[in-house]
Structure 1
Amino acid sequence: MSQPPYRSQQTRPPAVAGLFYPAEPARLRADVESMLTGARADADAAPTPPAALIVPHAGYVYSGPTAALAWARAESLRGRVRRVVLLGPAHRMGVRALALPGHRAMDTPLGPVTVEVPAQIEALASSSLVVARPDVHAAEHSLEVQLPFLLTVLPEASVVPLAVGRVDADRVAEAIRPFLGGSDTLVVVSSDLSHYLPQAEARRVDDATIERILALRADISPDEACGATCINALLLAAGEQGLGPRLLGTATSADTIGTPERVVGYGAIAFDAPAAP
């Protein structure tokens, strides 16, 4: 990949503000703070800050409280983490690579988040594993909906936003390994779970999926999670480093305002470094 796409001075405008989350800054900030407050009240004491998170990415009225359970765990990293490597599925545009937006920043109603392209990611362009594709990011929500939480919890952090297309999980893991467990980096995988099943069936499917995630089994299918490739890549890398997954909470869209006849499942999972001997 050539240098200019990495260093574009353009800012990606928000695509789903007013749809997936409020477009008015004061309301958005109040909603995010309220969800984080609720998550803190429900949280168990955590022995260590997370090295990675799995976070849902639906509209805030559906999955926001579950997403907050994960982002609240990241608050202990404030002042330490300077970048978030953020991976999510490319829903709208096909790409056989990990796509960067080709912009210097990604804007939100709360302000912009600086886009960083570390040398480890730039090096992956030589094999075309990483490409600059503004069109892939233009209408994509899976990464964007995480940014208001990121700005609130880790306001000084930059983002490495990778929209993951049709790529094998072991190749995607190449983009995670250099950062996972680093003292200055948090890895975040953005993914929902099952889609459009009846509530009882969704619970059954999601429980089985989460059981395999907690066992570090990198065999999640796209029917079980829209970000299955990202999750599997994280599980491969986490297993190599001995990270321990920890379930923070689950829900479906019917637990908020959705209908129980056709739900989407959500899970928040943290990956903690192994305890010192």
Structure 2
Amino acid sequence: MATKVRRPSHAGSWYTDNPKQLSEELDGWLQSCGLAKSPEVRGVIAPHAGYSYSGRAAAYAFGNIDPSNITRVFLLGPSHHYYTPKCALSTATVYKTPIGDLPIDLEVIEELKATGKFELMDIRVDEAEHSMEMHLPYLAKVFEGYQVKIVPILVGAVSAENEAMYGQILAKYVDNPSNFFSISSDFCHWGSRFNYMHYDKKHGPIYKSIEALDKMGMDIIETGDPDSFKQYLLEYDNTICGRHPISVFLHMLRNSSTKIKIKFLRYEQSSQCKSNRDSSVSYASAAAKTDESSSS
């Protein structure tokens, strides 16, 4: 099959396109978070904003990865510009980053295509989307010197039934310990520019209210229950942009025979909102680990 490249379209704007600088920046963040790599970590939830905003927070997710037994990374990100009620697969054969290229696992793409449940995304849609791209340099860095392939899945505006359906399709991949899952999401987008200004005064300043709202969501995600997460979103409408990828992931974990628990390790906000004129985006990083204690 001919090579079809997805270019790093956000390099030079959302993060540096200078390979040496990018490599040093990522190394610095990974070292400063001081996390021990663990082979039990099978997935992460990490933000996807420009690296000056969320690069440091993301290290708390990617810093947990032990690359030695992983050969494939499923990458699930929300769609910001393109509307689809389905999940869409990449048509590229390789995703380029300034610090190394990540080949696409065409075999798994074919397997998923064969289910008839996925659409294919045009390369222009692929390159316009940043949610998965912002995970790529970190993956290229963590898997430096290892053979790893990626399976990018753009998660559209998927209904609750379909979140469950995609979770069931993908669950079997969780049972293979050489598969890893990188879930892309930012947390609360607060302010008039996001049409979201939920404020519970009992928490004090606005940014504390945002933190309480996000932490509530994070606690629910940690329970692993997609239905509770759905209820939380219905009730508070928190602007978690990767709500659909997170929900699909929760359904995957629920349907797999491997017991995996999600734990959040870092929470940050782009700025502290104190008045209605302010705005901020929250970033939360989590690791999903095999849970020996509750294995059936």
TM-score range, shorter chain: 0.7 to 0.9
| Cα RMSD (Å) | 2.2
Matched position secondary structure for 1:141 = coil
Contact 1:55 1:191 in 2 (8 A): yes
How far 1:65 sits from its partner (Å)? 1.2
CA change 1:206–1:149 in 2 (3 A) is same
Contact 1:8 1:103 in 2 (8 A): no
Question: 2:11 aligned with 1:17, yes or no?
Answer: yes
Contact 2:168 2:251 in 1 (8 A): no
Question: 2:50 aligned with 1:33, yes or no?
Answer: no
What is the aligned counterpart of 1:226 among 220, 225, 241? 241
Q: Partner of 1:3 in structure 2?
A: none
1:200-240 residue CA offsets vs partner (Å, 9 max, x unmatched): 33212111110111112312436341111111111122234
Q: Partner of 1:171 in structure 2?
A: 165
1:20-73 residue CA offsets vs partner (Å, 9 max, x unmatched): 111111111111111101112xx3x67752111111111111111111011010
Q: Partner of 2:194 in structure 1?
A: none
Q: Partner of 1:122 in structure 2?
A: 110
Contact 2:46 2:185 in 1 (8 A): yes
Give the whole-Å Cα distance in 1 for the aligned partners of 2:259 and 2:100: 36
Q: Partner of 2:288 in structure 1?
A: 271
Matched position secondary structure for 1:266 = strand
Question: 2:260 aligned with 1:243, yes or no?
Answer: yes
Matched position secondary structure for 1:250 = strand
Question: 2:44 aligned with 1:50, yes or no?
Answer: no
TM-score if structure 1 supplies the norm length? Answer: 0.87
Give the whole-Å Cα distance in 1 for the aligned partners of 2:100 and 2:39: 30
Q: Partner of 2:209 in structure 1?
A: 201
How far 1:181 sits from its partner (Å)? 4.0
> Which residue identity lines up with residue 79 of structure 1 in the other structure?
S
Give the whole-Å Cα distance in 2 for the aligned partners of 1:54 and 1:184: 18
Give the whole-Å Cα distance in 2 for the aligned partners of 1:48 and 1:122: 28
Contact 1:50 1:270 in 2 (8 A): yes
Q: Partner of 1:188 in structure 2?
A: 182
Q: Partner of 2:54 in structure 1?
A: 63
How far 1:273 sits from its partner (Å)? 0.9
> Which residue identity lines up with residue 138 of structure 2 in the other structure?
F
Contact 1:97 1:166 in 2 (8 A): yes
Contact 1:83 1:184 in 2 (8 A): yes
Give the whole-Å Cα distance in 2 for the aligned partners of 1:236 and 1:149: 25
Identity %: 25
TM-score if structure 2 supplies the norm length? Answer: 0.81
How far 1:110 sits from its partner (Å)? 0.9
